[in-house]
Amino acid sequence: MSKKSRKLIRSTPLADEIAAEGDLDAPVEPERTFFFLPEQPPLDVDEGELHALMKLWRHGRATRTIGQVVQDSYVMLFSVVMIGAMIISVVLRAQAGMAGCTTEDCASGRLLVPTAMVLACYAVALGVARLFGPVLASAAEGFWLMDAPISRRRLLRGRLVLPLLLSFLVAGLATALVAALSGLGWLQVLAWSGAAAFGSAGLVSFAAAEQTRERVVVVKALQAVFAAAALAVLLLVVSVAAGWLPVAVLAEAGTIAWVFAVVAALGLVGMVVMLRLTLSRLEEIRRARLVSGGSLVAGMQGAMFALDFGLIRDILVERRMAEKGHVRPTRGRGLGLGALVWRDVERLKRQPSAFLGLGMSLFVPYAVDALRMSPLNPLISGLALVAGLVPFLGSLRVLSRTGGLARTFPFKTAQLRTATMAVPAALALVWGLAATPAFVGIASSGADRSLVNGLSAALITALAGLMGAVRWVTAKKVDYQTPMMATSSGALPPGLIFNLFRGLDMVALITAPLILQLPAYWSLVIGLVVFWALRGSFNMSDLQAEQEQARRELAAAKEGRAAEKQKIPRPGR
């Protein structure tokens, strides 16, 4: 914090000080320094000065110095430093351990896993850049500053740096972590993470250049290509681990670090070129395009503060639908609950990309089995299925988030929820059948488990994934009126903490007996109980209200009886 700001904080009177000064003089008329002069040209505006002024105002609103903030949160900072040191230590040891592994499986994994990570970083960088802008402005800036006769280029050029820096750091660090854990040498780690960092930054600057021309087609196509390539490489990893491909060819290719060094260099060059191009076009970006990214960030920030991931998804879905704008209407079929189910069937045609997610989740049980982690397969695959099924539970989400729409349908809540779960349940069933070979052990041990055991494990995992997804989309918002929990970060409502685990809790609960090697029917029983609870068979708020009403009626009846007793005339003597 600058000296100027500190001075400003100290000099800002506190509210109680202001209140104490009761005998304030009569308000002084401010000296007018600005008049509307239509005849004269406006003065030149320095955007740098404007920014400095805004920064000064923001600092002026601060009530605590950075020192005070650090002092208050020292426990958390200390924990972060400790945990960070532990993670780094674990990574270093794992890297040393993995580097010692000289089998062909290890060598191929060492090459392929970081490569998949680099490609995934490219896809994510492009996706996020397209979603937010990448150049964006807040609603206040859009309304107040961009209406003024100032240079948009000079105002926005700083905005380009942040997404580039973020993509550079996140992609670089994530890939470095994966590459180190795969057992690559430190120079190779540098090559792979450099390729991810510079390549992602270059792609973000390309997305920014496209944003100035309001084009998304190429960015979307590139994103799809990188995502497909990452998936293909991951499939290759599983195939090699399962012994379906000759590993020798891949293992020999482990010395291609220089290719990634070249990719990093190309990324750097691309970033510089695109950055210059974007800077020259910044003046042309429409305000609406900039502000929409800013409002999206603001909405998502609000949702993140409540850890409401469902709301974040709602915001994204709403935005995608607003971009789409129009659909070719289809005629419904059936009456009653059947109409709701049929509408969900019709919806499947509208969201082919959701099938990609579901397909990718199907890849997880095979990967887990190939990595010889079969005991944990139900839990890990169940969680992957949660992510794969959430996009298919759109109706349930809308009918659960507010009562308004559910009120328009003449059904019980349990009936509505069951109807909206029907199509996702059918998809989960298909997923379970398709995942059965992985649970039989086809990728690890050549199908050494019985088909019945594999099938029951796969179907229970599918049930766990479905229930996890239902729990995720139907969870209620955080209630800030409930008693708070004391934490090192201050008082928090309990719902805020549980939001982190929603979905995960149901999967863990249902798959626990399988992981603990108990008979599968235990999981089935737990799954059915969870289904009964999640479909809204009992409504806790209704029960509480009935209880409260009964209590009030009882109290009123008691009062009435007491009054009657008082009226009884006593016989005189």
Partner 1 sequence: MARKTPVLKVTNLKKAFGPVVIVDGFSLDVAAGEAVALTGRNGAGKSTVLRCLVGADRPDEGTVEVNGTRVSETSPEVRRDVATVIDDLDFFPDLSVVEHLDLLARAHGVPDPDAAVDEVLHEVQLVPQSGQLPSTLSSGQLRRLALATAFIRPRKLLVLDEPEQRLDTEGVEWLADRLAAERQRGLAIVMASHDPTLVQKVATRVIRLGDRAEVLADE
The smaller minimum CB distance to partner 1, of residues 145 and 341, is found at 341
Q: How far is the CB of 509 from partner 1 (least distance, A)?
A: 26
Query: Does residue 395 contact residue 340 with C-beta atoms inside 8 Å?
Result: yes
Q: How far is the CB of 469 from partner 1 (least distance, A)?
A: 17
Q: 405 with 398: CB under 8 angstroms?
A: yes
Of the chain, the end-to-end C-alpha distance in Å amounts to 90
Residues in contact with partner 1 by CB under 8 A are: 317-318, 321-322, 324-337, 339-340, 343, 347, 350-351, 394-395, 398, 401-413, 415, 539, 541-542, 545, 552
**Shortest distance in whole angstroms from residue 359 CB to partner 1:** 20
Q: Which is nearer to partner 1, 32 or 328 (CB)?
A: 328
Query: Which residue, 261 or 317, has its beta carbon nearer to partner 1?
Result: 317
CA distances from 372 to 241, 376, 439, 441 (A): 9, 9, 11, 9
- Give least dist CB 467 to partner 1, A: 21
The secondary structure of residue 31, as a DSSP letter, is P
User: 391 and 424 in contact (C-beta within 8 Å)?
Assistant: no
- CB 466 within 8 Å of CB 501: no
CB of 418 to partner 1, least distance (A): 13
Nearer to partner 1, 302 or 403 (CB): 403
Q: In terms of CB distance, is 272 or 543 closer to partner 1?
A: 543
Q: Please, what is the minimum distance in Å from the beta carbon of residue 550 to partner 1?
A: 13
Cβ distance to partner 1 smaller for residue 291 or 464: 291
- Provide CB contacts within 8 A for 39, sequence distance 6+: none
Minimum distance of partner 1 from residue 403's CB (angstroms):
5
Q: Which is nearer to partner 1, 283 or 559 (CB)?
A: 559
C-beta pairs of 555-558 under 8 Å, 24+ apart in sequence: none
| Closer residue to partner 1 (CB): 300 or 317 | 317
Least distance from C-beta 478 to partner 1, angstroms? 18
Place of tokens 């805020």: 496
What does the CA dihedral 255, 261, 264, 269 come to, rounded to 10 degrees? -140
Min CB(325)–partner 1 separation in Å? 5
Angle at 12 between CA 64 and CA 72, to 5 degrees: 10
CB of 394 to partner 1, least distance (A): 6
- Of the pair 351, 453, the CB lying nearest partner 1 is at 351
Among 221, 53, 84, which residue's Cα sits nearest to residue 150?
A: 53
Query: Residue 26: helix, strand or coil by DSSP?
Result: coil
| Rounded Cα distance, 370 and 441, in Å | 8
| d(C-alpha 376, C-alpha 412), whole Å | 38
Phi, psi dihedral angles at 410 (to 5 degrees): -85, 50
Q: Which two tokens stand for residue 97?
A: 């351990």
- In the numeric block, the tokens 């900072």 are attached to 77
Closer residue to partner 1, CB minimum distance, 27 or 404: 404
Handedness of CA 36, 38, 40, 45 (dihedral sign): positive
Residue (400 or 444) nearer to partner 1, CB: 400
Q: Six-digit token pair at 351?
A: 């969201």
Least separation in angstroms between residue 417's CB and partner 1 is 11
Q: How far apart are CA 143 and CA 157, in angstroms?
A: 18
Work out the angle at residue 226's Cα, subtended by the Cα atoms of residues 222 and 232, and round it to the nearest 5 degrees.
Answer: 145
- The values of phi and psi at residue 491, to 5°, are -75, 130
79 vs 402, beta carbon nearer partner 1: 402
CB of 343 to partner 1, least distance (A): 5
Query: In the complex with partner 1, which residue's Cβ is closer, 410 or 572?
Result: 410
CB 526 within 8 A of CB 513: yes
Q: In sequence order, what are the residues at sequence separation of 6 or more whose Cβ sits closer than 8 angstroms to the Cβ of residue 73?
A: 489
**Max intra-chain CA distance, the chain:** 116
Quote the least distance from Cβ 213 to partner 1, whole Å: 23
Omega before 134 cis (within 30°)? yes
Give me 193's structure tokens.
């993470």
